[in-house]
Chains A and B, each alone.
Chain A
Amino acid sequence: MSSVVLTWSVVIAQVMLALAMACAAYRMLVGPRAQDRVLGLDTLYVNAMLLMLTVGIRTGTDVYFEAALVIALLGFVGTVALSKFLMRGEVIE
Chain B
Amino acid sequence: MTHAADLPAWAAWIVALLLLLGAGITLIGSLGLLRLRGFYQRAHAPTLGTTLGTAFIIGASMLCFSLLQMRPLLHEVLILGFVTITTPVTLMLLVRAALFRDTAEGRIEDHGPHGGPQPSNDE
Contact = CB atoms under 8 A, between A and B. Distances in A.
Q: Do A and B bind each other?
A: yes
Interface of A: 1-3, 5-7, 9-10, 12-14, 16-17, 19-21, 23-24, 26-27, 32-36, 38-40, 42-43, 46-47, 49-50, 53-54, 56-60, 62, 65, 68-69, 72-73, 76, 79-80, 83-84, 86-87
B108 interface: no
Contacts, number: 180
Given A57-B15, A80-B93, A86-B97, A50 B30 contact: no
Interface of B: 1-5, 7, 9, 12-13, 15-17, 19-20, 22-24, 26-27, 29-31, 33-34, 39, 42-43, 46, 49-50, 53-54, 57-58, 60-61, 64-65, 68, 75-76, 78-79, 82-83, 86, 89-90, 93-94, 96-98, 100-101, 121-123
